[in-house]
Chain A
Amino acid sequence: MYLSEFYNRLRLDKSLADRTGFNPYYCEIRSGLSDPIIINSESFINLASNNYLGLADDTGVKESAIEAVRKYGASLCGTPIATGYIDLFRRVEERLSKFTGLESSIVLPSCYQANNGLFAAIANNEDLIIIDHYAHSSLVQGIKASGCRIRPFLHNDMDHLSSILEKSLKYRQIFIVTESVFSTDGSIAPLKEITDLAARYNAVPVVDDSHGIGVIGRNGRGILEECGIHHYQGIYTASLGKALANSGGVISGRKDFIDYLRYYCPHLVYSTALPPSILGGVEKVLDIIEKDFSTIGSRMWKYRNILNQSLASSGFKLAQGKAPITSICTGSPEDTVILAKRFYENRVLTTPFIEPSVPVNEGKVRLIAGANLEEKTIDTVVEIIKKLGSEA
């Protein structure tokens, strides 16, 4: 009896899918991230992945991953502190540091782990973390687990952040935490102002650049390049599974601090190292970005601008983000899922965000047009947007 109560309490609520006749989550894709992708034996245009530069299915990246498997095998069967630290692992750490302009880096199995492990290693109940209201769940969960005091500040509101800092005097250490590019609406944090405030109040800035690395900045090097920040003294994390088209997460910063994390970040020390295939893939992606970002990045921005223009002229309300993320403001969870369903019925895969990923009744349908998409694919999307706009 006690077991049935337990399992009944944890039963999935499917009412939204029942009401809308559509479940957009865990959609089974039967191809790589090609153009088109295959779902239920049908071709779909993929505007749902974080594959900004379109490199996930790139031939060179795949070859590099295969080469790494040939040389090092499928797995290192050990954590980086033990048998997982191959020369390729060290090289990827060094390449990532050089790419972002930071002294040193560690690579973890995911950015979720990076963000969780970071705060477990650096903060406790003597500390205060001031965090942007809309920061990603991985940051929030990591911070909550550390047991420190949390104070959110209004999204990208420097006056609010400043007023909190002014009144926060009794803590051992203050951290200011933000994302660089906010994934649901494409807004970009004013990191220069945040680092200036951090310096004034002796706080440590922490930025998660998951949707910025490989995307923003003149050479695609992320938020630090975008904001013209040199000699960043804070902590930097990013996903290797978005524009960098593989998986894993990185924590970067001052060398002495990163050396500390190598031994005291439990999520690194106790996790099996990223497999050689991923490390090989990341190394190749960095080669491509360093050589060809101007071409690939231009295509990504061009597609983003076409989508924005097309949606706006078809009457859709858009979030005002500056990143290559196009988000349609849809409101309620029902309206959000229904719009995603309408795109799906036209063979376009999108990402619907409902609470708690977004504030209550601020649902969004996000479109990211990867640079791998062909121009004719974007033309098709524009036609579909026009059609959906006229039906609304």
Chain B
Amino acid sequence: MSLEKRVIETIERNLEKKREVKLESRLVEDLEADSFSKLMIIAGLEDEFSVTIDEEDVGRIEKVSDIVENLRLKHPEVEEE
């Protein structure tokens, strides 16, 4: 499964409502994620990929594609799984 698809599916599993998540979806504006939703998403991604995402990086994440980019840049090993 591609990295993008795994990220999208993880986010979908960590949202209260079923939503179509796309790479260009913005967490707050499109997915209506509040601060706890964001925490759930980040923790879910950390579990999924067995990584720790830096708090500073979390603050910079706006869109789903930002998460994919962050993982590729900071945790290139996830691509090989």
Contacts and interface: CB of A to CB of B under 8 A. Distances in A.
Interface of A: 133, 140, 150-155, 160, 163-164, 167, 355-356, 359-361
A4 B28 CA distance: 31
Contact of A152 (B28, B32, B40, B47): B40
Contact of B36 (A152, A163, A361): A152
Nearest to A159: B13
Interface in B23-72: 28, 32, 34, 36-37, 39-40, 43, 47
Interface of B: 14, 16, 28, 32, 34, 36-37, 39-40, 43, 47
Contact of B39 (A151, A155, A167, A355): A151
A90 to B, nearest CB: 39
Contacts, number: 33
A329 B50 CA distance: 38
A133 B40 CA distance: 9
Nearest to A150: B39
Contact of A133 (B28, B32, B37): B37
Given A167-B47, A355-B34, 8 more contacts: A133-B37, A151-B39, A154-B40, A163-B47, A164-B43, A359-B32, A360-B34, A361-B32
A356 B40 contact: no
Contacts of B47: 163-164, 167
Contacts of B28: 360
A151 B37 contact: no
Nearest to B14: A154
A356 B39 contact: no
Contacts of B14: 154, 160
B5 to A, nearest CB: 19
A167 B28 CA distance: 27
B16 A155 contact: yes
Which of B14, B16, B36, B37 counts the most A-chain CB atoms under 10 A from its CB? B36
B34 A151 contact: no
Q: 8 shortest A-B CB distances, which residue pairs?
A: A360-B32, A152-B36, A167-B47, A152-B40, A151-B43, A133-B36, A152-B39, A359-B34
A100 B2 CA distance: 52
Contacts of A163: 47
B16 A133 contact: yes
B16 A154 contact: yes
A249 B28 CA distance: 35
A359 B36 CA distance: 10
A155 B61 CA distance: 24
Contacts of A355: 34
Contacts of A133: 16, 36-37, 40
A356 B34 contact: yes
B72 to A, nearest CB: 23
Contacts of B32: 359-361
8 contacts: A150-B39, A151-B40, A152-B39, A154-B16, A167-B47, A359-B34, A360-B34, A361-B32
Contacts of B39: 150-152
Contacts of B34: 355-356, 359-360
Nearest to B50: A167
Contacts of B36: 133, 140, 152
A229 to B, nearest CB: 26
A50 to B, nearest CB: 24
Nearest to A356: B34
A142 to B, nearest CB: 15
Contacts of B16: 133, 154-155, 359
A160 to B, nearest CB: 8
A148 to B, nearest CB: 13
A152 B32 CA distance: 16
A372 B28 CA distance: 43
A356 B39 CA distance: 16
Contacts of A164: 43, 47
Contacts of A160: 14
